Amino acid sequence: EPEVTQTPSHQVTQMGQEVILRCVPISNHLYFYWYRQILGQKVEFLVSFYNNEISEKSEIFDDQFSVERPDGSNFTLKIRSTKLEDSAMYFCASSPLGAGYEQYFGPGTRLTVT
């Protein structure tokens, strides 16, 4: 069964450094998402992406964040200058048909900012 994959599973970085979190969505899906989950808290929407552009973003997704689909398979989330409060689990998701339809989540990347 196809699944969303994410790398790395755990990323440790120093405050102020740039990080890139990588995702490979399910191959025939067209809609892509990033979420984050601070330990013990709810899942928070960051951004949705369709047709090579951002469809929707939350207030969390400020100028320090960017997303890219550099080729036909990868979907990346970049944080330009990490802060301590960026420490969280970051989930990528994809959907074949867009908003309102089932999203398939990856296993997540745990980001630790020290």
Partner 1 sequence: GESVGLHLPTLSVQEGDNSIINCAYSNSASDYFIWYKQESGKGPQFIIDIRSNMDKRQGQRVTVLLNKTVKHLSLQIAATQPGDSAVYFCAEVYTGGFKTIFGAGTRLFVKA
Contact assessment for residue 6 and residue 23, using Cβ atoms and an 8 Å cutoff: yes
Contact assessment for residue 86 and residue 20, using Cβ atoms and an 8 Å cutoff: no
Nearest Cα to Cα of residue 106 among 34, 6, 11, 36: 6
Residue 104 interacting with partner 1 (CB under 8 A): yes
Q: Which is nearer to partner 1, 41 or 81 (CB)?
A: 41
Least distance in angstroms from the C-beta of 43 to partner 1? 4
Residue type, 8: P
| Binding-site member from 86, 87, 88, 108 for partner 1 (CB under 8 A) | 108
Nearest Cα to Cα of residue 24 among 109, 111, 113: 109
C-beta atoms surrounding 57 within 10 Å:
16
| Binding-site member from 13, 43, 76, 96 for partner 1 (CB under 8 A) | 43
Least distance in angstroms from the C-beta of 14 to partner 1? 25
Residue 53 interacting with partner 1 (CB under 8 A): no
Nearest Cα to Cα of residue 80 among 61, 53, 94: 61
The footprint of partner 1 on residues 57-96 (CB under 8 A) is: 58, 91, 93
Q: Rule CB under 8 A: which residues touch partner 1?
A: 4, 31, 33, 35, 41-45, 48, 50, 55-56, 58, 91, 93, 98-100, 102-108
